[in-house]
Amino acid sequence: MARVKFQTLTEQMFYALLCLKEECCGIDILDRVPAMTGQRVSIGSGTLYTLLEQFLEADMIRETKVTGRRRSYILTEKGREMLEKEYKRICAQARDYRLIFGEDREGEEGSI
């Protein structure tokens, strides 16, 4: 059975969409993702521009302006809903982890 596209998001997808809460262009995303994740996550330019095209086709983002070769985008309501769904899925995984290990790790450095 084929996997449904965007059923879950990779880290790169999640952070690219998160950046698009505010209008920005691809180069902004390439800079912002490592900055917001303490260099833990980065996105290659080829990957990012492929994702942006896929997000556009899925109506998760919309193009806001074009200046030369630079294109700016912003999150749509559908994209916001996808981010919210993924956030809830990640939180559920963290709860499951804490239940299994019997730990309350919230607030610890690097905790889930």
pTM, two decimals, is: 0.84
Least confident of 22-26, 79-83, 107-111: 107-111
**Vertex 51, ends 91 and 65: CA angle to 5°?**
110
pLDDT digit string, tens, across residues 26-43: 999 999 999 999 999 999
How far apart are alpha carbons 7 and 5 in whole angstroms?
6
Please answer whether residues 31 and 97 qualify as being in contact, where contact means their C-beta atoms are separated by less than 8 angstroms.
Answer: no
pLDDT digit string, tens, across residues 59-77: 999 999 999 999 999 999 9
Average pLDDT value over all residues in the chain: 90
pLDDT > 70: what percent of the chain? Answer: 88
Packed helices 77-101 and 11-19: angle between N→C axes, nearest 10 degrees: 130
- Residue 13 vs residues 89, 99, 105, 109, 110: alpha-carbon distances, Å: 14, 28, 26, 24, 21
